[in-house]
Amino acid sequence: MRDPTFWILARASGITAYLLLTGSMVAGLTVKSRPFGRAVKAAAVVDTHRFLTLLALGTIALHGLALTLDSTVRISPAALLVPGLSPYRPVPTALGVLAAELAVVVVVSFSLRKLIGQRAWRRLHWVTYAVFGAATGHGLAAGTDTGRPWAFSLYVGAVCAVAFATAWRVLTRSKGGNRVPNRDRPVAV
């Protein structure tokens, strides 16, 4: 009988990474739209966004490590770096690899923000939608728990949360393309 420890760890860390990614996306989308007004400071939301992002990356690394150590599905370390090398559901697994690699690029861009400029950094942040989409596709198509109602509901809830946060951010922009003014600053009369 095979020891299921790493398989269980791989499944749990994959789902946890997806939830952390979802939380990071929602926090990032609410930084400027301020859905809670003055009740939550923007700096606290930025800190939460960064923290969730780093936790998600760590959990993604744990997910990959557990998969390489598992004997149920044989995934080589190279398959974690090169999309399409995995013998297990190659296309959905490739989506997961791409999502992880793009997430690393976005995270590294934080420290390069001054070098690449604010505009390029913001444009690069649009990649997070591709990361989220690829992670969702990976989970739905490669995840062994997807057929269970709780897991499918988790994916639907995550997509709805990101869609709602995106809609909120878009709808809180004024007609000129600027966001709603910061209510913490006094308005000049």
Q: SS3 of 181, please?
A: coil
Residue 189 lies in a domain: no
Residue 186 lies in a domain: no
Do 52 and 27 form a contact (C-beta atoms < 8 A)?
yes
Residue 176 lies in a domain: no
Question: Which residue did the predictor score with more confidence, 60 or 171?
Answer: 60
Domains in the chain, number? 1
Residue 179 lies in a domain: no
Task: Return the pLDDT at 180.
Answer: 46
Phi, psi angle pair for 86, to nearest 5°: -70, 135
Percent of the chain with pLDDT over 90: 72
| CA 131 – CA 143 distance, rounded (Å) | 17
Query: Which residue from 69, 135, 75 is spatially nearest to 102, judged by alpha carbons?
Result: 135
- What single letter denotes the amino acid at residue 91? V
Residue 92: domain span: 5-171
Question: What pTM, to 2 d.p., does this model score?
Answer: 0.87
Q: Is 161 exposed, middle or buried (0-12, 13-18, 19+ CB in 10 A)?
A: middle
pLDDT tens for 73-94 read 889 999 999 999 999 999 999 9
